[in-house]
Amino acid sequence: MFKELTDSFLIHYLGRFDRHPFQVQMHGDTYRIGSGEPECTVVVHRDIPKKDLIASTSLALAEAYMRGDIELKGTDLFTFIAHLLEQADQFSLNKHMLHDLFSFSEKKKAQAKQVSSHYDLGNDFYSLWLDPTLSYSCAYFKNADDTLEQAQKNKVDYILEKLALKPGMTLLDIGCGWGYLLIEAVRKYGVKGYGCTLSKEQWKKGQERIAALGLEDKLTIDLIDYRDLPDQKRKFDRIVSVGMMEHVGRDNYQLYFETVNALLKDKGVFLLHSITGNDEEMSDSFMRKYIFPGGMLPSLRELVSIAYDHEFRVIDVESLRRHYAKTLMCWYRNFQKVHDKVRDWKGDSFVRMWDIYLAGCAAAFYIGYIDIHQVLMTKGANNDLPMTRWY
């Protein structure tokens, strides 16, 4: 028997998300939301407090799912989150109530701790579900049947081609992760590579890879903040940064571009690969609390505008949104296969949290709630590059 939506605040509140019909089972009663045949069922084992829903819809629902207070039947997590995000204008968010989540420090020490909280979960953890290259950024699926590993190799090759590398050039990778991109650049193009990271685990793995390949004289990865690089008086022919801009912080955007500008030689090429928001708002309280403390998405218009505050000239912009949706679904499926191992190590709540993160991000990219762009630019005008998209 279907009951009225006004029996509890949670049921009443969920009534605003009626674009895709579903039903809610709670305390033995069933409630129908939206018109038409319900596409799925949300089972509520424990009510969600009104104050939590008002503070942040996404955080309240995510935490309830993490605790096992709600579960889904008749649908998958990706689809359910996608349907919610299509109605994100109905979300509640009170930043005053969640002040601590939206006031992270953007100073060096604080950001190093924030980065470590995510990337230093351990190389063993990431090795469970990433591909063998340990690439933790958007892959590039040139062919429909590309495996995740092939797509990650495609991505690295694509970036290196865009950089127009030549033997003997110097390449800086800001936020170089486990070092795969730099290793490929050194081996395939004969450049000298330098990378920086704030993750001790990534740095450790990078050193192991460099030593195993005998590249010590051609490639260096340091555990250092990008803001300290100008003190070394280095200059580079090419600079790349993949998936790091999201950790810079809005107050540091100008400083970031100023630093890159100082490190890049005249006519040098800079490729910035970053997730982008459709606006300049900070709204994802779940991600900031559990996944990327201090994380913030720049908008494309911010990146291009600030680039021109310095000496950069944007020569190409490409969206890889659908590629990232597919990448995340590959990660999500891989992660599902190792649920038991991760659960034994970190517990069920952690597993559910990462399910939300991976499936939720896949959904966000798929529906266009967020985007990802590669912005290719030069320092000043460069008339030596090919006139067409050589890559």
3-state secondary structure of 242: strand
Distance (Å, rounded) from C-alpha 367 to C-alpha 362? Answer: 9
Nearest to 22 by CA among 6, 8, 4, 43: 43
- Helices 108-119 and 200-213 meet at what angle, rounded to 10? 70
Q: Is 220 left (phi over 0), alpha (psi -120 to 50) or beta?
A: beta
- Angstrom distances, CA of residue 27 to CA of 14, 57, 62: 16, 21, 20
Active site (annotated) includes residue 330: no
Q: Tell me how far apart the alpha carbons of residues 106 and 314 are, in angstroms, rounded to a whole number.
A: 27
Cβ(196)–Cβ(176) under 8 Å?
yes
Q: Using alpha carbons only, what angle is made at residue 172 by residues 226 and 122, rounded to the nearest 5 degrees?
A: 65
Catalytic residue among 176, 196, 330, 361: 361
List Cβ neighbours of 143 (8 Å cut-off, separation of 6 or more).
none
Neighbours of 10 (CB within 10 A): 24
3-class DSSP assignment, residue 145:
coil
Cβ(257)–Cβ(309) below 8 Å = yes
- The catalytic site residues sit at 361
